[in-house]
């Protein structure tokens, strides 16, 4: 039963991750809330579970020439340097408090996603509207 639950949770997280929308942000709460796994352990599962998929995706993207190596030095290097102390810092936190932090992080991400969808919708609407106006002027001053 537990195996089945973990597979279903994995597939759900994988589908969202495969769509490029951060599957991990949903996989972790599914593991804690639905499968009762402790927060630190759930985060560890997420980190490891997405590595094979990322490797495959990266190979495909490199073949399609979509990957830019110029960010390795100035973005990836400081990122790796910051990730290790952050990973050590959670040793000092209990599962409950880490889970609350994670909840706050999810709210921020969800809010940002909502805002960016609204912004792109408004931009699209404006662009369409502008064309309409231009057409109207053209018709009037033909």
Report the residue number, 21 or 136, with the smaller CB distance to other proteins. 21
Under rule CB under 8 A, residue 121 binds other proteins? yes
Quick one: tokens of 135?
Answer: 């057409």
Contact 87, 40 (CB under 8 A): no
What residues from 100 to 119 belong to the interface with other proteins (CB under 8 A)?
100-114, 116-117
What residues from 4 to 43 belong to the interface with other proteins (CB under 8 A)?
6-29, 31-33, 37, 40-43
Under rule CB under 8 A, residue 122 binds other proteins? no
CA trace torsion 133, 134, 139, 140 (10° rounding): 70
Question: How far apart are the C-alpha atoms of 39 and 94, rounded to whole Å?
Answer: 9
Looking at beta carbons, which pairs linking 78-81 to residues 24 or more positions away fall under 8 Å? Answer: none
Least distance from other proteins to the Cβ atom of residue 131, Å: 20
Under rule CB under 8 A, residue 83 binds other proteins? yes
Count of residues that bind other proteins according to CB under 8 A = 93
Under rule CB under 8 A, residue 140 binds other proteins? no
Under rule CB under 8 A, residue 66 binds other proteins? yes
Task: State the number of CA atoms in the 13 A half-sphere of 57 facing the CB.
Answer: 10
The residue from 85, 128, 133, 142 that contacts other proteins (CB under 8 A) is: 85
Cβ-Cβ contacts under 8 Å for 99 (sequence gap 6 or more): 32, 39
Under rule CB under 8 A, residue 1 binds other proteins? no
């Amino acid at each position: 039963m537990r195996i089945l639950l973990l597979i279903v949770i994995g597939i759900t997280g994988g589908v969202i991750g495969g769509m490029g929308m951060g599957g991990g942000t949903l996989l972790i709460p599914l593991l804690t809330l639905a499968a009762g796994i402790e927060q630190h352990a759930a985060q560890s599962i997420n980190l490891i579970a997405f590595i094979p998929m990322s490797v495959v995706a990266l190979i495909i993207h490199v073949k399609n020439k979509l990957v830019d190596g110029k960010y390795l030095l100035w973005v990836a290097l400081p990122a790796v340097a910051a990730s290790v102390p952050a990973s050590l810092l959670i040793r000092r936190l209990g599962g409950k408090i880490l889970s609350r932090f994670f909840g706050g992080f999810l709210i921020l991400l969800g809010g940002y996603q909502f805002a960016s969808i609204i912004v792109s919708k408004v931009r699209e609407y404006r662009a369409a509207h502008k064309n309409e106006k231009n057409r109207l002027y053209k018709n009037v001053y033909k």
